[in-house]
A and B are shown apart, each in its own frame.
Chain A
Amino acid sequence: MLKECLKLISNKTVKSTRDIANRLGIDEKYANELIDKLVQMEYLSRDNGEFSCGGKCFGCNLANCPSNSIITFSLTDKGKKYLKNL
């Protein structure tokens, strides 16, 4: 399942964990678990969509750097290398 999951992400045929669940015929909870596992094994990286500008930036009066609250998972170099060798 983990390999299939990586392949789906690499083929760009899925856009969310729900898509993965649908494509693999598993429930979303399980798909999330697979993604967590792949993150833990460093095949995917988790991006919480937060960025820090290290304090006040010229021209920006926002009190805090905005967070877009959209979490994404991207293939890491390790993930790409693994898929390349498949």
Chain B
Amino acid sequence: MHTIALVGNPNSGKTTLFNAITGSNQHVGNWPGVTVEKKEGFFTYKDEKYTLVDLPGSYTLGAFSEDEIVARDFVLKGNPDVVINVIDATNIKRNLYLTIQLLEMGANVVLALNMIDEAKSKKINIDIKRLSERLNVPIVETSASKKIGVDELLKVTVESIGRKTKPLEISYGKYIDQEIVNIQKLLENKDFLYPKRWMAIKILENDREIISLVSSDSEIKAYIDKLREEDKIFELDIVDKRYDYINNITRELIKEPENVLTTTDKFDKVLTSYIFGVPIFALIMATVFQLTFKIGQDFLGGYVESFIGYIATLVENLLISINAPELLVSFISEGFFGGVGAVLVFVPLIVVLYFFLAILEDTGYMARAAYVMDSLMRKVGLQGKSFISMIVGFGCNVPGIMSTRTLENKKDRMIAILINPFMSCGARLPVYMVFIGAFFPKNGGIVLFLIYALGITMALIMAKVFSKTLFKGEETHFIMELPPYRLPSMNSVFRDMWEKVWEFLKRAGTVIFLVVTILWVLSMLPAGVEPYSKESLLGRIGSFLAPIFTPAGFGTWQASVSLFAGIAAKEAIVGTLGMLYSPMDLTEALRMNFTTLSAISYMVMVLLYTPCAATIATVKRETNSAKWALFMAIYTFLLGYIMAVLVYQIGSLFI
């Protein structure tokens, strides 16, 4: 019984064609020794039965995967009478690479130009007659899914059985051709099942499988070792020549319509433009912050605040009505609702901000953001890929730092880790919002945008400083894949958003609750002292620290304590301020204790100073060094402090 092999690129319609030819007359097994599926079927043509073997889909016949090795071994050693090479006519240049390799092997090939109907509808014009002449193979137009051309293919295949073929000999250039001849001579009279010229080419292509096979011969092995010592690896040149060969053929015989700009291309012309890319990115982010402020704070924030206030009063009244101890009432109303409640008020903001960021991510815009920022990043000694970890850091610095694992270069990674805390995480958002609400209610979006922009700017400046001082080294070379724009999937947007919100809620219920509880206890001690007063333990600690911050304009004990509480978790800053100023409305309290200028310097401090404990622990783990974790904690504190002092002192000259 004659055997016909079916080979083709993945998605070329090979399996559809196999099913169209064999129907239900097929069985599935495994190729011996490997986990690659073997599909075999049978068909009858003019009363004669034929075996059809569906070889694994593959782009090349190298030794890069088991699929490729199985496919090429069957073609070379399985002795199929005909090899039907299924080609996707809409992607013919790519598919012909496999064809050329089959022809170099000397296989008896019949080309099934599949999906021809689609190619025609895409106005791809193929001169089939001349292509058949140039390749010296029969070509049949098919559309396997519509069963068009299948009978003709079988007719031509059967007629091709016994057709005399000669392996295709491409010239790879004088030098490589000479090496092919040299190796061919060494292979002569050796007992290998493969064609000698093909083996010689594969050896020069650095094909592991063939090299391993011939290495049993000491003479050939010595020759290969000599080539390697002289760095004579020609795989790229050989592949390039094959592509040249294909291009020479297809240039004349295949006419495709001129590239029409897709919607993605049109958007990218503007969004990734050298001149407008960065300003557009800034504008988009400014709009996101403005919308966050308008929807999250002005619109939804009020409802949540009223709701939490309502629940707080209800619980407090309930506790009083059941004669609960005064301390418990104080803890619940001032500690819990004043502290944790002050943080929960910002849930709508988190929801809105991460909703918009998830949309930007899902549409494919964030890849463009990394693209447009790349030039800027390279100027400061970083690679654009580092911007990705910075974007992740906007959610939380812990995964932001973890994501630097994708940077191969140690220098890039260390810098990316050390600058990540300047990416303002979601936990710092409530701090900005409460101050913006108190001092900049009409320009919230712009102020928020400026804070984030300052964070990015400081990150870039410090990256430059680090790359010039602590981490000098070679740069990584890379390119990005820009995915097509797509409409955001609401499932994915809501899932991303929910993860951030859930993180925020969990931290409010755990870390923040714990910090607020400890601070509440400290503010009640020693016994008999007026709660939340300067004389309490907390007040004394704060008063001791406060002078440090006087040059920055916020030398109050409450501000000092809140900053140190923020090292446990940034949301704790608002929680602490809310508790310490309770029962007074936090916005009012801030207006009484801060000036506009000191509010700005305080926000700058919060943006830049020591990151939270979780982030510091992550730095220790990721760098495997307590020294770097300590360095991170100290340098960010100093930087935040210096910047806050500069803002306040320079600002005082004008305000």
Chain A, range 50-86, C-beta contacts under 8 Å to B = 50-51, 53, 57-66, 68-75, 80, 82, 85
Q: Which residue of B lies closest to A85 (CB)?
A: B231
Tell me whether B239 is interfacial, beta carbon within 8 Å: yes
Chain A, range 5-62, C-beta contacts under 8 Å to B = 6, 9-10, 12, 14-20, 27, 29-30, 33, 35-37, 40-41, 43, 45, 47, 49-51, 53, 57-62
**Selected contact of A37 from candidates B239, B398, B615, CB within 8 Å:** B239
Residues of B within 8 Å of A37, CB to CB, are 239
B399 close to A16 (CB less than 8 A): no
Tell me whether B2 is interfacial, beta carbon within 8 Å: no
B482 close to A68 (CB less than 8 A): no
User: Cα distance A15–B405 when bound, in Å?
Assistant: 21
A73 close to B239 (CB less than 8 A): no
Tell me whether B392 is interfacial, beta carbon within 8 Å: yes
A41 close to B481 (CB less than 8 A): no
Residues of A within 8 Å of B482, CB to CB, are 16-18
B476 close to A65 (CB less than 8 A): no
A51 close to B388 (CB less than 8 A): no
Q: Which residue of B lies closest to A18 (CB)?
A: B482
Range of interface residues on B (Cβ < 8 Å): 35 or more
B60 close to A40 (CB less than 8 A): yes
Residues of A within 8 Å of B417, CB to CB, are none
Q: Which residue of A lies closest to B613 (CB)?
A: A59
**Selected contact of A57 from candidates B259, B507, B618, CB within 8 Å:** B618
Least CB distance from B498 to A in Å reads 9
Least CB distance from B373 to A in Å reads 10
B503 close to A62 (CB less than 8 A): yes
Tell me whether B150 is interfacial, beta carbon within 8 Å: no
A74 close to B478 (CB less than 8 A): yes
Q: Please, what's the 1-or-0 string for B396-421, where 1 marks a CB less than 8 Å from any CB in chain A?
A: 10110011011010000000000000
Q: Which residue of B lies closest to A15 (CB)?
A: B374
B406 close to A47 (CB less than 8 A): yes
A51 close to B406 (CB less than 8 A): yes
Given contacts A2-B236, A41-B235, A68-B392, whether A51 and B403 have CB atoms under 8 Å apart is yes
User: Cα distance A80–B262 when bound, in Å?
Assistant: 34
B236 close to A51 (CB less than 8 A): no
B403 close to A66 (CB less than 8 A): yes
Q: Please, what's the 1-or-0 string for B58-72, where 1 marks a CB less than 8 Å from any CB in chain A?
A: 011010100000000
A16 close to B502 (CB less than 8 A): no
A51 close to B385 (CB less than 8 A): no
Tell me whether B477 is interfacial, beta carbon within 8 Å: yes
Tell me whether B13 is interfacial, beta carbon within 8 Å: no
Residues of B within 8 Å of A18, CB to CB, are 268, 482
User: Cα distance A64–B60 when bound, in Å?
Assistant: 36
User: Cα distance A3–B237 when bound, in Å?
Assistant: 8
B370 close to A12 (CB less than 8 A): no
Interface hub of B268, B370, B480, B614 (most chain A Cβ within 10 A): B480
B399 close to A60 (CB less than 8 A): yes
A69 close to B479 (CB less than 8 A): no
Tell me whether B586 is interfacial, beta carbon within 8 Å: no
B391 close to A1 (CB less than 8 A): no
**Selected contact of B399 from candidates A47, A66, A69, CB within 8 Å:** A66
A16 close to B402 (CB less than 8 A): no
Residues of B within 8 Å of A10, CB to CB, are 477
Given contacts A59-B613, A70-B367, whether A51 and B481 have CB atoms under 8 Å apart is no
Residues of A within 8 Å of B406, CB to CB, are 47, 49-51
Given contacts A49-B406, A70-B481, A72-B480, 12 further A-B contacts (CB under 8 A): A16-B371, A17-B479, A30-B93, A35-B479, A43-B236, A50-B406, A61-B502, A62-B499, A68-B366, A70-B388, A71-B480, A82-B236
Give 29 pairs: A residue, B residue, CB < 8 Å, sorted on A.
A2-B240, A3-B240, A9-B477, A15-B371, A15-B375, A16-B371, A16-B481, A18-B482, A19-B479, A29-B94, A40-B60, A41-B64, A41-B236, A49-B388, A51-B402, A51-B403, A59-B614, A59-B617, A61-B506, A66-B395, A68-B361, A68-B391, A69-B366, A70-B388, A71-B483, A72-B479, A72-B481, A74-B408, A82-B236
10 cross-chain pairs, A with B, having the tightest CB-CB distances, nearest first:
A59-B614, A74-B478, A71-B481, A60-B398, A61-B503, A75-B477, A68-B388, A51-B405, A70-B367, A61-B506
